[in-house]
Amino acid sequence: MQTSIISFGAPSPPQPPNSSPCSLKTRQPNTLFFTSTSNNRASTLSTQTLSRKLICKPPAGKYLSDDYLVKKLSAKEIQELVKGERNVPLIIDFYATWCGPCILMAQELEMLAVEYENNAMIVKVDTDDEYEFSRDMQVRGLPTLYFISPDPKKDAIRTEGLIPIQMMRDILDNEM
């Protein structure tokens, strides 16, 4: 399996503001649409039609984690991230829908995101969606990873092809 690692200088960036939307859900039996069977769970999700005073605030569901930790961003969002200020390394994963090794890489990056939590920022870019940006970043083989240090003096590192998770850990721990 072919892998190449290249590093080069790049400016450093910021941390996006944390925003976790709280969704209010109200559950009440809706006898209009459900017959009472043991399997039915009656539920309505909308509070829009209800005009009643809530005695206590319903659970916000803020302890539920997202399905995927590695988010797909647009070229503009990535550029803002890179240009802004950051104090953690940034990993950008360039992938394509029908690239097989990209699937394996995505799984590894999810594991890495769990391990590093807030100590690294991991995002991904669909090269079919962001054609021009991928071309400008000289992406060729997929998957391609860019490791960008928060220190503007350090070179960014680029890898091409599927790399072991340990190599990613080594780069994050030693090179960033």
Cis, bond preceding 143 (omega within 30 deg of 0): yes
CB of 33 to other proteins, least distance (A): 27
Least Å distance between CB 74 and other proteins? 12
Determine which one of 73, 88, 92, 99 is catalytic.
99
Residue from 73, 92, 120, 157 in contact with other proteins (CB under 8 A) = 157
Find where tokens 């960014």 sit: 156
Catalytic option among 91, 102, 121, 156: 102
What's the CA gap between 103 and 95, in Å, rounded?
9
Q: Is the Cα torsion angle 72, 117, 151, 93 positive or negative in sign?
A: negative
Residue 96: both structure tokens together: 């394509």
Site for other proteins in 39-98 (CB under 8 A): 94, 96-98
Give the rounded distance of the alpha carbon of 120 from its chain centre.
11
**Which residues are annotated as catalytic?**
99, 102
Query: Could you list the residues that contact other proteins (CB under 8 A)?
Result: 1-9, 94, 96-104, 127-129, 131-132, 134-135, 139-142, 144, 155, 157, 159-163
